[in-house]
Structure 1
Amino acid sequence: MIETREAISEKVVLIGVITQHQDEDKANEYLDELEFLTHTAGGVPVKRFLQKLDKPNPKTFLGSGKLDDVKAFIESNGVGTAVFDDELSPAQLRNIEKVLDCKILDRTNLILDIFASRAQTSSAKTQVELAQYEYLLPRLTRMWTHLDKQKGGIGMRGPGETEIETDRRIIRDKITLLKKKLQTIDKQMAVQRKNRGRMVRVALVGYTNVGKSTLMNVISKSDVFAENKLFATLDTTVRKVVVKNVPFLLTDTVGFIRKLPTQLVESFKSTLDEVREADLLIHVVDISHPNFEEHIASVNKILDEIDSANKPTIMVFNKIDAYTHETIDEDDLVTIKGKEHYTIEDWKRTWMNDLEKKACFISATEKENIENFKNVVYDEVVAIHSKIFPYNNFLY
């Protein structure tokens, strides 16, 4: 029941809060990501609103004065959608919609919508649809009673835009059916993994839009879909790759993101199983992104949640061709050198030098240092193969 049509471009305002746990820089960084998510979904962000609060208002997320400011801007500029950077409770959604009288989305809803537009295979569609229903279930009253205002677009590429699905029992029955369908898919994928033979399994992991699919295309000489958008890859892609004389299976997986909806982590269990069952992880990082260290931490957090944090890992710092840094004049005796001034060589001398994990610095698009990367992968795969299959050393 998931639609794959392009969303009609619509004006969007982005809303976040500055709290004791999230300073202004962090709040703006999250809104940068929310803006990219909105563009990916087909929206046009026209303004941002930030408010400093001890914690989000439990009734309306923002304070009443700030909410009135948002309402005035929406009415005077013909804005149809407000997107909040955190997941809103059903009560917050209802209260905010009463004030703003427009379509209200939160970060979770937006990510689910992008997944809905990206899903291609039966497996991905089923996983996304399950996540959407589980998100919608506690919000049914609000969602279905206001459909007269919601004519489609971002946030509406989902299940059940019909009156019959206002019945919670029907939604729960649908969730049960989807879970059963996913169990069947999980079993099929498990059989496929078993039938892949005695080869080392390698999985590409990383934050969304770091270049995993591009790297896979380079080293497997295949044509996996790669695009400069968030979540360009949803379906797991597995390719047999041969480096020198060593064959192994390489899997491209869905990209991670901060505040990844728990519904997606659970529904994409079969996809994440590819990571769980991998013998080696290649953690791809976009080193040109100013917050790549936090991206690494977010990925590691999710890997820890799925019991995969301690697997052998190669850190691949991609997009070195796009990396830039600020320079300090030699006569400047005041400015203290910070991370924004680091060159790639400076980074290599920091915590990266102390990594227990192997590290490579490459550009997948420019094919820079790819041979060095292949050599590192080769050494790791050979070492793992000799441990897993000690009596099967035909590779060497």
Structure 2
Amino acid sequence: MSMRVTHGLPLARKTTLGIGGPAAVFVDLQDLADLPEFVALAADFPGVPTCLGDGTNVLVSDAGCSSPVLRMNTQGVRFMGEVADGRTLVEVQAGHSLHELVDTVVRRGLIGMEMLVGIPGTVGATPVQNVGAYGQEISETLVEVTAWDWVLSRRVTLGAAACGLGHRTSIFKGAGRWTLLTLVFALRKSALCAPLTYRVVADRLDVPVGSRVPPIEAARAVLAVRRGKGMVLGCSGADRRSVGSVFFSPELTPAQARRLRDEGASINRFPDGSARVSASWLIRRAGFALGGPIAEGVRVSSLHHTLVADEGASAAGFTEAIDVVVNRVLECTGVRLTPEVDFLGDWPEEEDVAG
């Protein structure tokens, strides 16, 4: 059997922030054949089970989690051949590393994911908030997902259109109804990547915005940019306790976009048609200094304007830091930030964990 069950496991060990109390029961699932056993086990505990990938985008409550926590550790990529429009279908297990998947398909000359290189976490987490970076989003390549539906108590298959994919959101985010099991993507064979829409990546390659280069070169440039911001696991030293982007890139009204552009902000057009500015630019504009303390055990990264945890950090302190940043950015820029991090576990009912 490839299902490991642990009671009272501190979830801080399973997240990149290193924050959080214990799980009443923690299950590491390595083979989908054992899923029925997990479903039976979960019936003995309150609440709907929570799925945890690599813990790279979660803040766990100091009180821990009384409902079962499932760590999807299933691995595997299967190339299913071409469909009528020439794209190649790729089936991936939910526990497979996203970074490894991107590396695999790029080396095969398949495009559609090259800008997602270096993003930590599992493939199963990507539709939950429609993971994206540098002009690409999962919504552009996702075909369908297979999931366990805790309401219907059976496996279901959902096409991409049914997943409700938007800017860093989907029907899965915050719902708790589904546990994603496998995903199918459609990627296109090409000697050149998608057009480069972000200046920072184009500058790294010394080409104009809109250029196309071999996908492996684009991926290397994106990876170099991410490393420079400390947003690749294992490269950021003292800033390693991070969730990457704590806040969404907020959507701007035309008036806000014009004003911030005049102030030097880089306004980017996202696949959903919205104009957005990076949260890190707003945090810097609000006067937060790199490395500066925000709350006990929580500070601004020394590499990038995002929040990181140090010794003594707690979930309560991290949510306090989120509130401080949201309020000062709103006061200084007129733009409201919204947390991107997922809040997992048993939170006090009176606490506003959404900042």
Same fold judged by TM-score > 0.5? no
Q: TM-score, normalised by structure 2?
A: 0.30
Q: If each structure's strand is expressed as a fraction of its own residues, which one has the higher value?
A: 2
Q: Which has the higher contact order (CA 8 A, sep 6+)?
A: 2
Q: TM-score, normalised by structure 1?
A: 0.27
Q: Which has the larger radius of gyration?
A: 1
Q: If each structure's helix is expressed as a fraction of its own residues, which one has the higher value?
A: 1
